[in-house]
């Protein structure tokens, strides 16, 4: 969440700050670490949250990898970002880097410079950098973030690559059926107009559709276009997306897999923050947005138990935010003091499980989809040719 802060650096030096923080207390603490005395603080309007979802095409992962390489080579943060800005050829990315440099030249911290570009740098990234500034090990923080983002991208690419072929197959099937219904069927309807025999009911309905297109083709096309655009608009609305996700979550098999996917991402992110030195309570609040609303409510209840002094494993188990494997690993992490590492192992285990399930599902779904499309196209063709078959039979 973002907060607007009015603060004093000296008697007559008033500043207006924009800080990304978990709550007001965290925002006050951030302002104090930068040498400010807070005068007033209030949350920003919700439209800023919307702008954060519309991120620019800034290559964040590449930026992190290049900056990490420069830091490991012995350059300072300022020198490293200056080098990246000099070689950058994309205007938007170059502008962002120069804005960061301007803040660094004024003596601001890197996290402060990054949080003023919320459309480019997500809160997770800013928090990772801020935690590293307390320990003085930015290279290690960037290494963790690069590893985290690489693993997340691998899982996302597996899911996307598995969905490409079915989507192409569905698109081809829809185009073929549209061609038959819009171009072929109307021409068959002309042929059957003068046939004096009774046609099958389904063939009559199909041919009436052809006649309708002949008489009012443009009107039907316009109506179909309006319906398609209206459907696309409704599906792009946040409320519609939430409604659809709720329906999908109610499907037993799909809902269970989506829950595991979200928990894996949740544990991976939480583990990275804990390894970076972020406090458990603050880290849990920061990663809450990764979960769907139902799980988010459960996480809030688990966070309250953690703040009361209960163990993480107990709180997560009590509110159904674990799997049997995750619960065992959490308990091991609590005994060994390596909670961050164990959470990353939980995520890796479930990511591999998810990849196996996606592979199994596509192997079954693709043949079924091909069979369904083939049957649908064959059914239309049979209905078109059935009157010819009956006519040939009557002539015999």
Identify the DSSP state of 292.
-
Which pLDDT band, with edges at 50, 70 and 90, does 22 fall under?
low
What three-state secondary structure class fits 268?
helix
pLDDT tens by residue, 341-354: 898 889 888 888 88
Average pLDDT of the segment spanning 54-68: 77
The residue ranking higher by pLDDT, 17 or 268, is 268
d(CA 204, CA 325): 59
Q: What angle, 0 to 180 degrees and rounded to 10, lies between the N-to-C axes of helices 238-249 and 252-275?
A: 110
pLDDT tens by residue, 165-195: 888 888 888 888 878 877 777 777 766 666 5
Which pLDDT band, with edges at 50, 70 and 90, does 239 fall under?
confident
pLDDT at residue 51, rounded to an integer: 37
Would you mind telling me the total number of residues written for the chain in this entry? 396
Average pLDDT of the segment spanning 190-218: 70
Identify the DSSP state of 320.
T
pLDDT at residue 52, rounded to an integer: 41
pLDDT at residue 88, rounded to an integer: 84
Angle at 80 between CA 78 and CA 84, to 5 degrees: 115
Asked if 80 and 99 count as a contact pair (C-beta separation under 8 A), the reply is no
Strand pairing category for 13-20 and 2-10: antiparallel
Average pLDDT of the segment spanning 243-250: 74
Full-model pTM: 0.63
Phi-psi domain of 298 (left: phi exceeds 0; alpha: psi -120 through 50; beta: other): alpha
Q: Residue 141's CB: how many other CB atoms inside 10 A? A: 24
pLDDT at residue 50, rounded to an integer: 34
Which pLDDT band, with edges at 50, 70 and 90, does 161 fall under?
confident
């Amino acid at each position: 969440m973002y907060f607007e802060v009015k603060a004093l650096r000296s008697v007559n030096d008033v500043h207006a700050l924009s800080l990304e923080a978990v709550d007001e207390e965290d925002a006050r603490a951030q302002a104090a670490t930068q040498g400010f005395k807070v005068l007033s603080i209030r949350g920003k309007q919700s439209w800023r949250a919307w702008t954060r979802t519309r991120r620019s095409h800034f290559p964040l992962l590449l930026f992190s990898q290049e900056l990490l390489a420069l830091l490991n080579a012995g350059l300072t943060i300022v020198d490293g970002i200056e080098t990246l800005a000099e070689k950058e050829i994309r205007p938007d990315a170059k502008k962002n880097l120069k804005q960061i440099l301007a803040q660094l030249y004024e003596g601001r911290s890197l996290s402060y410079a990054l949080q003023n570009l919320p459309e480019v740098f997500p809160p997770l990234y800013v928090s990772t950098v801020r935690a590293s500034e307390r320990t003085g090990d930015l290279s290690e923080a960037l290494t963790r973030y690069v590893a985290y983002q690489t693993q997340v991208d691998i899982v996302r690419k597996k899911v996307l690559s598995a969905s490409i072929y079915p989507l192409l197959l569905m698109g081809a099937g829809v185009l073929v059926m549209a061609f038959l219904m819009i171009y072929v069927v109307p021409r068959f309807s002309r042929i059957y107009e003068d046939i004096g025999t009774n046609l099958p009911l389904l063939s009559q309905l199909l041919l009436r559709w052809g006649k309708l297109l002949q008489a009012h083709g443009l009107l039907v096309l316009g109506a179909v276009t309006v319906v398609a655009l209206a459907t696309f608009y409704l599906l792009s609305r946040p409320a519609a997306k939430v409604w659809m996700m709720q329906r999908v979550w109610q499907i037993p098999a799909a809902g269970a897999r989506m829950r595991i996917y979200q928990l894996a991402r949740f544990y991976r992110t939480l583990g990275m923050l804990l390894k970076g030195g972020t406090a458990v309570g603050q880290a849990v609040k920061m990663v809450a947005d990764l979960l769907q609303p139902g799980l988010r409510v459960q996480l809030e209840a688990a966070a309250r138990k953690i703040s009361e002094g209960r163990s993480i494993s107990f709180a997560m188990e009590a509110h159904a935010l674990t799997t049997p494997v995750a619960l065992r690993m959490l308990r091991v992490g609590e005994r060994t003091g390596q909670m961050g590492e164990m959470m990353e192992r939980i995520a890796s285990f479930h990511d591999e499980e998810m990849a196996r399930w996606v592979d199994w599902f596509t192997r079954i779904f693709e043949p079924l989809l091909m069979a369904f499309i083939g049957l649908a196209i064959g059914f239309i063709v049979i209905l078109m040719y059935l009157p010819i078959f009956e006519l040939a039979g009557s002539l015999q």
